[in-house]
Amino acid sequence: MENKSIYEEIFEKPCSVCGEKIKKDIYEQGDCPYCKWKNNHFADINPNIVLYPNLISLNKAKKLYSEGKPFEPDLDEFMEALHSYSEMQFEYNGAYYAVELVYDKNKKLVISLYNSQTKESTIFNEDEDFKNNAKVEGKLLQDIWNDTTDRYWLQ
């Protein structure tokens, strides 16, 4: 008898994005060393939704992979990730920003943009308000999104 439980067993299976044989556990979890996709069962059964720990959907990853592009979220995907995780971050011009879902004093869910350098927060009513009006260094976030880095779950 083996002592190892089935839950610790590792299987050789194809990556859901690039198809290379990688190591996956019983939950289909396994980081792909080839394309960098974080394989998991929930992404496999919800291919059009942004789900932790990835910042883009499985189908978007397949598309970007086929185009030879990195798995970077656009602003819409970043907002989708925000709603699944509540706390996100990005870096711009050396400063880190936190984007968080918070409750205002009227117990309404709003979006907070926090500048870790100035310690200032700006509040937005909902996604459209954030996407259209959020600014960093006086520039609209949607205009400089491609210049941001380290877009990720808040660390």
Residues 2-31 that bind Zn ion (CB under 5 A): 15, 17-18
State in angstroms the smallest separation of the CB of 66 from Zn ion.
12
By C-beta, is 38 or 131 nearer to Zn ion?
38
How much of the chain is helix, strand and coil, in % rounded to 5?
25, 30, 40
Interior/surface letters 52-90, b for 16+ CB within 10 angstroms, e for the rest? eebbbbbebbbebbeeeeebebebebbbbbbeebeebbb
When asked if residue 35 is in the footprint of Zn ion (CB under 5 A), the reply is yes
By C-beta, is 64 or 110 nearer to Zn ion?
64
Q: Can you tell me which residue has the tokens 């960098």?
A: 36
Residues 90-149 that bind Zn ion (CB under 5 A): none
By C-beta, is 32 or 111 nearer to Zn ion?
32
3-class SS of residue 35: coil
State in angstroms the smallest separation of the CB of 104 from Zn ion.
41
By C-beta, is 34 or 52 nearer to Zn ion?
34
Residue ranges in 1-155 assigned as alpha helix (H): 41-45, 58-66, 75-85, 127-133, 141-144
- Where do contacts with Zn ion occur on this chain (CB under 5 A)? 15, 17-18, 32, 34-35, 37
